[in-house]
Amino acid sequence: MKNYSREEKLKGKKIGFVPTMGALHQGHLSLIRKAREECDRVVVSIFVNPTQFGPGEDFDRYPRDLESDVRLCEREGVDVVFAPSVEEMYPENFSTWVEVKGNLTETLEGAHRPGHFRGVTTVLTKLFNIVIPDCSYFGEKDYQQALVVKKLVDDLNIPVEIVLAPTIREIDGLACSSRNRYLSKEERRAAKVLYQSLLRAKTEIQDGEDNPSCIISSMEDLILEEPLAKIDYIAIVDPVSLKPVKRIRGEVLVAVAVKIGKTRLIDNMRIKSVF
C-alpha cells in the first residue's frame, strides 16, 4: 500500500482516501464518488477496527462482506482496496495510542462509549501513515467523529485534508449505516423515529423555540411513542465546541443516540435558528 502511494505521489497524482469498516452502503458510495471526482487515485480501506469497540459492543457480529464490498468498489472505479488483517494492524507488541483529549471526545459518543475515539484516532493515524492520502472523506452522520479527526490532523500536523459530505438517507429518512443491517423488519420500521425526532426539532427551532430543554422533551415524547426505541441521549450543542447550548442562537447541532431493540443508532442535524 505504501509503495503504491509513494509511486503515485511521485507521478504527481492526488490520492483520495475513504476509510471504512466495510458493509458498504450508499453513504460510503457517496464518499467514494466525491473522492473519485476530486482526486486522481481513490483508496478505500476496509478494516473492522477492534480498538474502537467497547466490551459488550458488536465487534464480533459487525457485518463483514469483503467480496461484495470489493465488487462495489470496482464498480465505482476505486483504484485500491486496502483490507489489512487485525494481526497486521495490531501485532502482539502493539503499544502506542493516539488520543484527542478534552470536550470533543468526552461528550456525546465519547461519554457513552469510553475509549471509542481513542481507537478511531489511533487506527486513522496508522491508516494515514500507510495510505499517505492528500484528502480523506468522512460522512456527517458521524459528525463528532469528523470533528475529532479534524482536531487530530491539526494538532499532529498530519498533511491530509479532511473533507465532510452530507448524510445519505433511506427513503423514510433513516440515515444509511452498516448497523441498519441488524434491524428486523419491525425494528427497521421503528428506526425512522430518529429522523422524525430531528425533523420535529427543526420545525420547533424554525418556529422560534429557543429553549433546548423544551425541544429535547418534545423529541423524547415522540421517540417514546415508539415501543421498540430506548433513548441513549438527545443533545443540543454548539456545532464547533460540542458544548450544550443554554439558548438556541445561530446554528446548533441536534444529536441523538437511540437503541432500537439491541441495535444502537445515531443521527444528527445542523439547524439554523431564526435568532
User: Which residues are registered as beta bridge partners of 236?
Assistant: 254
x-or-dash string of contact with ligand PAF, 119-158, rule CB under 6 A: -x--xx-----------------x--x-------------
Question: Does 49 contact ligand PAF by CB under 6 A?
Answer: yes
Indicate if 25 belongs to the active site: no
The stretch near ligand PAF (CB under 6 A) out of 13-21, 57-65, 193-201, 232-240 is 13-21
**Residue among 21, 32, 219, 252 that touches ligand PAF (CB under 6 A):** 21
Q: How many residues at the interface with ligand PAF, by CB under 6 A?
A: 10
x-or-dash string of contact with ligand PAF, 70-109, rule CB under 6 A: ----------------------------------------
State the minimum distance, in angstroms, from the CB of residue 46 to ligand PAF: 9
Helix (H) or strand (E) holding 102: none
Q: Which of 25, 28, 112, 116 is catalytic?
A: 28
Question: Does 19 contact ligand PAF by CB under 6 A?
Answer: yes
**For ligand PAF, which is the closer residue by CB, 112 or 202?**
112
The stretch near ligand PAF (CB under 6 A) out of 2-10, 116-124, 166-174, 195-203 is 116-124
- 197, 219 in Cβ contact below 8 A? yes
Q: Which three cell numbers stand for residue 219?
A: 423529541
- 51, 89 in Cβ contact below 8 A? no
Q: Which three cell numbers stand for residue 58?
A: 458488536
d(CA 138, CA 143): 9
Q: How far is CA 73 from CA 45, 55, 69, 217, in A?
A: 10, 31, 6, 42
Nearest to 36 by CA among 16, 59, 51: 16
Q: How far is CA 51 from CA 85, 90, 93, in A?
A: 13, 9, 15
The residue type found at 12 is G
d(CA 126, CA 47): 12
Q: Is 131 left (phi over 0), alpha (psi -120 to 50) or beta?
A: alpha
Q: If DSSP codes are grouped into helix, strand and coil, which group holds residue 123?
A: helix
**For ligand PAF, which is the closer residue by CB, 44 or 269?**
44
**For ligand PAF, which is the closer residue by CB, 20 or 167?**
20
The stretch near ligand PAF (CB under 6 A) out of 18-26, 31-39, 159-167, 223-231 is 18-26
Residues that bind ligand PAF (CB under 6 A): 19-21, 49, 52, 120, 123-124, 142, 145
